[in-house]
């Protein structure tokens, strides 16, 4: 019950503090982390802990699913090389560099044990990356790369972490076995995700769309994670695969189901993210009390590792991103090139979070320097979230790495106009069938013109005065036919190269809301 009470308190704090974060223009994970730190050091206050084995399966699935459902396979494919260079190569480099430095500053610490901590602190947090990218209106390509890295790097880091921990406890390291374990985890994770997605789509076809269908989608991320983990695969990749596989299917759901589902996932993401980052702050006091060395020495070691993590990211991104940009330019023109400003923002956007927390808390009893390593990891999380999280908005504004509101609005208008054209084509098809009177069709067209004008898809409303409904039921049916055709056109745009899923989602929400109103 104590753990449940803690979760309820953190959820309530998130509800109250998230609007405050919005008002003071800060990412709410940073505000929740500061709240956790403040509560943790209240004199005489005892805070119950949570089972670390439950953190990953309870926290990661909903957060990864909510973030992944906002993107698309096309985005991953268009930027696959940049994403993999960060999500796989950079994670490995960071883990080994941190391991070497740790072994040098902590006498007697085995290298493989140090690499285990390196793997835990290597991946930037997917939630923080997504929150920052959306909050700061970063350019589309940069946002895609950061979100893709956040959704993919956890698989690399957790598999490397598990291999390193097992090797440290056994006293031996087998590189070939580690490589095979990583490959198997990736394959099993993707396969499990695809299998769960296929089963989910079949069940959605048999169940009522709402509420049973919506409830099924809420359960599937947890099922995918647990199934892949039980088969020694990557639960992270399983969840991401399910989200991407179901994203297009969800786009073709009814307007009511889509509106309910989107709202539900926004609520889940808010509560889980806030509770997770507040928990990081709450646990620091307990971790510090368990450490065997002096706080000053531990803090100095932790800050050194934090500096290593930050410097390695800069040292990797600048040369590798520059090389990747040259290779891309040889093949085709790039609408949004990544220059030194974008590289600087990407290098500084390396906040650590939930994955690092869960990994270090799961270190087994008897692991070499366990309490020291946990303290170091916590300081890395807090330092990167507070320093980078608080200064990243200033850096973005100073460098001007943002997407203008005019450009986003223009993309929305263009997509709305494409939907409008599709809707009128559907109306013309109905007119050619000849089973509805010309008067009703003309009235439906005038009503549609007013609707599209109010949405910003046409410059003139073609308002010819008051309209008298000849057949309200038929007019509503025609309106839904046109909106369905418009939604299909908008959904098809998601799979096109260069499309922005955020713009697609925004336009879909506007069309769904319009469909739920009266004609």
Looking at residue 515, its pLDDT comes to 64
- List, in sequence order, the alpha helices (H) in 69-213: 73-78, 80-84, 91-105, 111-121, 126-135, 140-170, 175-206
What average pLDDT does range 177-206 have in this prediction? 85
| pLDDT per residue as tens digits for the range 51-62 | 667 777 888 788
Measured CA to CA, the distance from residue 98 to residue 75 in angstroms comes to 31
| φ/ψ (deg, to 5) at 232 | 65, 35
Looking at residue 405, its pLDDT comes to 58
Indicate if the pLDDT at residue 240 is higher than 60. yes
Cα distances (angstroms) measured from residue 34 to each of 104, 109, 145: 32, 32, 28
Cβ atoms of residues 422 and 485 within 8 Å: yes
Cα 161 to the center of its chain, rounded Å? 22
Looking at residue 408, its pLDDT comes to 65
Looking at residue 253, its pLDDT comes to 57
Of 1, 52, 12, whose CA–CA distance to 278 is shortest?
A: 12
The pTM score is 0.76
Helix axis angle for 111-121 and 91-105, nearest 10°, is: 130
Q: How many of the other CB atoms lie within 10 Å of CB of 179?
A: 11
Cβ atoms of residues 9 and 273 within 8 Å: no
Indicate if the pLDDT at residue 336 is higher than 60. no
* Farthest-apart Cα atoms in the chain, separation: 88
Task: Kindly report whether the peptide bond that precedes residue 13 is cis, defined as omega within 30 degrees of 0.
Answer: no
Q: Is CATH 1.20.1530.20 the right assignment for the domain spanning 2-403?
A: yes
Cβ atoms of residues 309 and 119 within 8 Å: no
Indicate if the pLDDT at residue 431 is higher than 60. yes
| pLDDT greater at residue 107 or residue 504 | 107
Looking at residue 519, its pLDDT comes to 40
CB burial class (10 A; 0-12, 13-18, 19+) of residue 141? Answer: buried
Q: Which residues contact 394 (CB under 8 A, 6 or more apart)?
A: none
Cα 237 to the center of its chain, rounded Å? 13
Span of 48-52, 111-115, 207-211, 273-277 with lowest mean pLDDT: 48-52
List, as one string, the DSSP characters of 460-511.
Answer: -----S----S-HHHHHHHHHHHHHHHHHHHHHHHTSTT--HHHHHHHHHHH
Cα distances (angstroms) measured from residue 272 to each of 112, 179, 315, 409: 32, 33, 33, 31
Measured CA to CA, the distance from residue 268 to residue 426 in angstroms comes to 37
| pLDDT per residue as tens digits for the range 346-359 | 899 888 887 888 78
Task: Kindly report whether the peptide bond that precedes residue 172 is cis, defined as omega within 30 degrees of 0.
Answer: no
CB burial class (10 A; 0-12, 13-18, 19+) of residue 497? Answer: exposed
| pLDDT per residue as tens digits for the range 265-280 | 888 888 888 888 888 7
Looking at residue 227, its pLDDT comes to 92
What average pLDDT does range 34-38 have in this prediction? 87
| pLDDT greater at residue 465 or residue 403 | 403
Looking at residue 323, its pLDDT comes to 78
What average pLDDT does range 73-88 have in this prediction? 79
Measured CA to CA, the distance from residue 198 to residue 205 in angstroms comes to 11
Span of 105-114, 130-139, 393-402 with lowest mean pLDDT: 130-139
Q: Which residues contact 157 (CB under 8 A, 6 or more apart)?
A: 91, 95, 119, 120, 122, 123, 355, 359
What average pLDDT does range 477-504 have in this prediction? 77
Indicate if the pLDDT at residue 287 is higher than 90. no
What average pLDDT does range 472-491 have in this prediction? 81
List, as one string, the DSSP characters of 198-217.
Answer: HHHHHHHHHS-IIIIIHHHH
Q: Which residues contact 239 (CB under 8 A, 6 or more apart)?
A: 60, 61, 64, 65, 68, 193, 221, 224, 225
- The three-class DSSP label of residue 91 is helix
Q: Which residues contact 244 (CB under 8 A, 6 or more apart)?
A: 68, 69, 71, 72, 73, 76
Indicate if the pLDDT at residue 1 is higher than 50. no
Q: What percent of the chain has pLDDT over 90?
A: 15
| pLDDT per residue as tens digits for the range 134-175 | 667 778 778 878 878 877 787 788 878 888 888 888 776 667
Measured CA to CA, the distance from residue 116 to residue 166 in angstroms comes to 9
Cβ atoms of residues 487 and 416 within 8 Å: no
Domain ranges in the chain?
A: 2-403, 406-515
Cα distances (angstroms) measured from residue 386 to each of 30, 120, 379, 440: 6, 19, 10, 61
């Amino acid at each position: 019950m104590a753990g449940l009470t803690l979760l309820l308190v953190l959820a309530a704090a998130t509800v109250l503090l998230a609007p405050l974060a919005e008002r003071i223009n800060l990412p709410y994970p940073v505000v929740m982390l500061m709240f956790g730190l403040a509560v943790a050091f209240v004199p005489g206050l005892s805070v119950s802990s949570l089972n670390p084995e439950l953190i990953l399966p309870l926290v990661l699935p909903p957060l990864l699913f909510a973030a992944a459902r906002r993107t698309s396979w096309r985005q991953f494919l268009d930027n696959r090389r940049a994403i993999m260079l960060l999500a796989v190569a950079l994670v490995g480099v960071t883990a080994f560099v941190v391991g070497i430095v740790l072994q040098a500053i902590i006498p007697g610490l085995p290298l493989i044990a140090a690499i285990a901590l390196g793997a835990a602190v290597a991946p930037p947090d997917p939630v923080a990356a997504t929150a920052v990218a959306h909050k700061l209106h970063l350019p589309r390509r940069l946002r895609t790369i950061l979100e893709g890295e956040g959704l993919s790097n956890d698989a690399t880091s957790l598999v490397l972490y598990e291999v390193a921990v097992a090797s440290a406890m056994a006293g031996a390291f087998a590189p070939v076995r580690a490589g095979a374990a990583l490959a198997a985890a990736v394959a099993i994770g993707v396969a499990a995700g695809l299998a769960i997605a296929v089963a989910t789509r079949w069940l959605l076809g048999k169940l009522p769309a709402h509420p049973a269908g919506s409830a099924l989608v809420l359960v599937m991320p947890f099922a995918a994670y647990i199934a892949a983990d039980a088969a020694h695969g990557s639960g992270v990749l399983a969840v991401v695969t399910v989200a991407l596989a179901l994203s297009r299917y969800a786009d073709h759901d009814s307007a009511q189901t889509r509106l309910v589902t989107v709202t539900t996932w926004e609520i889940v993401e808010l509560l889980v993210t806030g509770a997770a980052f507040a928990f990081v702050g709450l646990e620091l006091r307990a971790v510090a009390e368990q450490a065997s060395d002096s706080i000053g020495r531990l803090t100095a070691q932790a800050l050194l590792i934090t500096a290593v993590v930050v410097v390695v990211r800069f040292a990797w991104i600048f040369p590798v991103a520059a090389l990747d940009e040259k290779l891309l330019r040889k093949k085709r023109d790039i609408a949004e090139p990544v220059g030194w400003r974008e590289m600087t923002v990407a290098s500084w956007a390396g906040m650590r979070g939930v994955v690092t927390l869960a990994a270090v808390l799961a270190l087994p009893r008897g692991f070499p320097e366990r309490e020291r390593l946990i303290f170091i990891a916590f300081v890395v999380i807090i330092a990167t979230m507070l320093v980078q999280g608080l200064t990243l908005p200033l850096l973005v504004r100073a460098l001007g790495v943002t997407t203008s509101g005019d450009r986003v609005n223009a993309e929305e208008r263009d997509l709305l106009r494409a939907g409008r054209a599709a809707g009128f084509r559907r109306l013309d098809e109905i007119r050619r069938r000849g089973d509805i009177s010309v008067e009703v069709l003309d009235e439906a067209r005038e009503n549609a013109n007013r609707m599209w004008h109010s949405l910003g898809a046409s410059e003139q409303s073609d308002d010819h005065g008051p309209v008298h409904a000849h057949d309200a039921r038929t007019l509503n049916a025609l309106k839904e036919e046109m909106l369905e055709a418009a939604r299909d056109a908008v959904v098809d745009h998601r799979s096109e190269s260069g499309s922005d899923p955020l713009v697609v989602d925004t336009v879909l929400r506007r069309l769904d809301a319009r469909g739920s109103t009266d004609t």
